[in-house]
Amino acid sequence: MRILTIVVTYNEATNIARLIPEILRHVPASSVLVVDDNSPDGTGDVVRALAARDPRVGILSRPAKSGYGSATIDGIQHAVRQGYDVVVTLDADFSHDPADLPRLIDALAAADVAIGSRYVGGIRILNWGVQRLLLSLAANSYVRFLSGLACVDCTSGFRAYRVDALRKVAFDRISSTGYAFLPELLFALDQVKVEEVPICYTERRIGQSKMGTHVIAEAIVRPWGLLGRRVARVISRR
């Protein structure tokens, strides 16, 4: 089974230098692809130095900051072209523990998508205030209500996918550029089997959050588009 772990970066030089060795320690069979949007802090140079020492490491450099969603799609399409069997995604800031990667991959034995869930079976989040936690819970409820998605944590970016399932996705129909991409991809995957794996989420300690005003606005608006597509999907299946 060929595994590709994708990490989307923008100004994550300090974190990525520590993260890549941890990924490879916990999943030595995986390759790592960093999709970097021309980070001015030298993230790309750090990855290229690691790649020069380890053939499992690669970088996809993009000319400008174009959003988490489009970066993840570029990484996934690379995995499909190169014949990988499994794609794993996690954040660059250690909010997702690389030690949990084997559990996500193992869950694909009985599923098409495995989600590292902060909320299934209880709440497991470190270093968040009450307001941030309530906002995240409300966002997931909001998305589930409009999209019809069944999973508890549909906004988690800590995931493993079978590439056979991803091949069926029309990525040109996915329009979200920020983190709204995450539920939109689950919606596009449609009738695949999803398994939620309990994980503990830890707020970043180094660097700055990428959750800007545009990203938040998109996360509010895009689920209404999913509602329209959900209605159309139901009608077409009658």
> What pLDDT, in 10s, does the model give residues 11-60?
999 999 999 999 999 999 999 999 999 999 999 999 999 999 999 999 99
Cα distance between residue 44 and residue 122, in whole Å:
37
Fold type of domain 3-236: Spore Coat Polysaccharide Biosynthesis Protein SpsA; Chain A (3.90.550)
> What pLDDT, in 10s, does the model give residues 132-185?
899 999 999 999 999 999 999 999 999 999 999 999 999 999 988 888 899 999
Rounded to 5 degrees, φ, ψ at 165 are -70, -40
Q: What is the pLDDT of residue 204?
A: 67
Long-range contacts of 107-111 (CB under 8 A, 24+ apart): 107/160, 107/195, 107/197, 108/160, 108/161, 108/162, 108/195, 110/193, 110/195, 111/162, 111/192, 111/193, 111/194, 111/195
Determine which helix (DSSP H) or strand (DSSP E) holds 59, and give its type and residue range: strand 57-61
Cα angle value 175/176/182 (rounded, 5°): 125
pTM surpassing 0.85? yes
Cα distance between residue 184 and residue 194, in whole Å:
14
> What pLDDT, in 10s, does the model give residues 65-114?
888 999 999 999 999 999 999 999 999 999 999 999 999 999 999 999 99
Q: What is the pLDDT of residue 218?
A: 81
Q: In the chain, where are the structural domains located? A: 3-236
Cβ pair 13, 48 in contact under 8 A = no
Q: Cα 5 to chain center, whole Å?
A: 10
Pick the range with the lowest mean pLDDT from 27-31, 91-95, 123-127, 200-204: 200-204
Cα distance between residue 217 and residue 41, in whole Å:
27
Cα distance between residue 112 and residue 110, in whole Å:
7
